[in-house]
Structure 1
Amino acid sequence: MDIGGTFTDVVAYDEASGAYAAGKASTTPADLTEGVFAALAQVVDDPAAIAFTVHGTTQGLNAFLQRRGEKVLLLATRGAGDVYHIARGNRTRLYDVHYRKPTPLVPRGDIVEIGGRLNWAGEELEPLDEGAIRDAARRYREEGFGAVAVAFLFGYLNPAHELRAAEILVEELGPVAVSLSHRVAREWREYERTSSTVVDAYTAPVVRRYLERLETELRGRGLAVPLHVMQSSGGIVTAQSARDLSLQTLLSGP
């Protein structure tokens, strides 16, 4: 199943006969599941007969490109709050004097620096400032944020501070969308890890809401097997895994 901007396409393969069937319906932006079921009805009489299903989605990519993701609060290590905005010095057009960096998804004012430090080996030099995390949680609630990205220095070596930050956020806010850098992109370059975590936080709530609704509708119509989602890499994961790490589905549709 693949949802495009104009059409929704479904391709079915009958293992018994070896025959293929294709269905096409207009995409329904107000409720994408309507287009899915309209196309599905053209190739399958009863969803309960489906033995395996894979879905390609552009929900995350559309939210990213159209800048309609969630408002993100970024928690960074004290003294490293500018990493995300400084980014890299490389430019796609080296001699273009009019070049401007793309506008970051998180403005500098929405980056909160948190005390607590690990060294290059992942050993704790300074304990996490839990009070600062709780202050950030209050700001999240008061200013209408929709997700939190947590990217601490050397978090890829030792995730203890990031994990504790997530625990505190849940204690203070209840169920909340939290993206942790060591889960999203466990690599040593701070900007790349932070940037990836921000994109995950920005798109994750959109992807999660969509997949939860699609799964609910499919089960309600008799689908008895898990829904799988295409990853950017071309591989597949369960819808649950896609909800947990939505960044991996950014190029799912294309």
Structure 2
Amino acid sequence: MRAESPTVGRPRPAKAPRRRIGIDVGGTNTDAVLLEDERVLHAVKTPTTPDVTTGVRNALAELLRSAGDPAPIGAVMLGTTHFTNAVVQRRELTRVAAVRIGLPASASLEPFIDWPEDLAAIVRGEIVMLEGGHEYDGRPLVPFDTAGMRAAARRIREAGITSVGVASVFSPLNPFCEEQAAEILREECPGVAVTLSHRLGRLGLLERENATLLNAALVDLARKTTRAFTDALRASGITAPLYLTQND
């Protein structure tokens, strides 16, 4: 028998270090760091600019210039206080139509009931309250008023409102009414942004509705800010995926 030669282990290639960029866009300054695995290689601080894009672009340019080494970037993580600042400073908020589905229940407290009055005055648009919703076990409360929803959608379109928050009783257990409402809104109001409460919150109606309306008020700013971040990365020649942090 021919003896087999022993297997010679081949050395594994060294694992390339993983480089990432972290950016924090604050109201005053934009901070950027270059990480290699868990080690901070470089850090810079530049002024935040009103258009966001320029400030991020400046921070990236300074960071890459200080790094010198053109090693590839694997990911970019970005956090910002833009949305918190918008609420606190009452700026760049979108007027919102509030659709609540739950009559004959849930009629005693209207949407925006516990909002600060100055904030509600900026965000509050059309208020729509319709029959529908579900019981705590997911059974229908009453049939959803689709005709009323369609008429409300037309009023929303005529009012020029482009963002709508929809909250239905116990929708986290059964989102049927909210999804039907969204379908009608998109048919009657092309291009409208629809935020559905069952995707954001838990069972409590008012808390879930408030989160939905606040999200709807920030949709336009979120699109603008995300586009600014993407443009800044593209201008810097970085092709790595962009991740936005969820600060909750």
Task: Verify same fold: TM over 0.5.
Answer: yes
Paired residue secondary structure (1:232) = coil
- Counterpart secondary structure, 2:111: helix
Number of the residue aligned with 1:227: 242
The reply on whether 1:180 has 2:210 as its aligned counterpart is no
Task: Structure 1: give runs of 5+ residues left out of the alignment.
Answer: 88-100, 234-254
Report the CA distance shift for 1:48/1:116 in structure 2 as closer, same or farther (over 3 A).
Answer: farther
1:220, distance to aligned residue in structure 2 (A): 4.5
Is 1:116 the counterpart of 2:137 in the alignment? no
1:73: Cα distance to partner? 0.3
Residues 122/23 of structure 1: CA separation in 2 closer, same or farther (3 Å cut): same
1:43 equivalent in structure 2 = 63
d(CA) in 2 for partners of 1:118 and 1:109? Answer: 25
What's the CA shift for 1:48?
8.3
Q: Within 5 Å, which residues of 2 pair with 1:45-194?
A: 45=65, 49-68=72-91, 69-77=93-101, 78-79=103-104, 80-81=106-107, 82-87=109-114, 102-103=116-117, 105=120, 110-185=126-201, 187-194=202-209
* Separation of aligned partners in 1, 2:138 and 2:225: 37
Which residue of structure 1 aligns with residue 13 of structure 2? none
Give the Cα separation in 2 of the matches to 1:108 and 1:52.
38
User: What secondary structure does 1:50 align onto?
Assistant: coil
Q: CA separation in 2, counterparts of 1:108 and 1:193?
A: 16
Shift of 1:59: 1.9
Higher relative contact order (CA 8 A, sep 6+): 1
C-alpha spacing 1:143/1:48, structure 2 compared with 1 (3 Å): farther
Give the Cα–Cα distance (whole angstroms) in 2 for the partners of residues 156 and 28 of structure 1.
40
Give the gaps of 5 or more residues in structure 2.
1-22
1:229–1:164 Cα change, 3 Å: same
Percent identity between the two aligned chains: 38
CA contact under 8 A between 1:48 and 1:223: conserved in structure 2? no
Equivalent AA in structure 2 for residue 130 of structure 1: T
1:184–1:200 CA contact under 8 A, matched in 2:
no
2:116 maps to a residue whose letter is P
> Could you say which structure has the larger radius of gyration?
2
- CA displacement, residues 150-206 of structure 1 (integer Å, 9 cap, x when unaligned): 011111210011011111111112222111110011x12111111111111111221
Q: Distance in 2 between matches of 1:230 and 1:109?
A: 30
Residue pairs, 1:236-247, within 5 angstroms: none
Report the residue type matching 1:3 in the other structure: V
TM-score norm. by structure 1 comes to 0.76
Match of 1:98 in 2: none
Distance across 2 between alignment mates of 1:190 and 1:150: 11
Shift of 1:67: 2.0
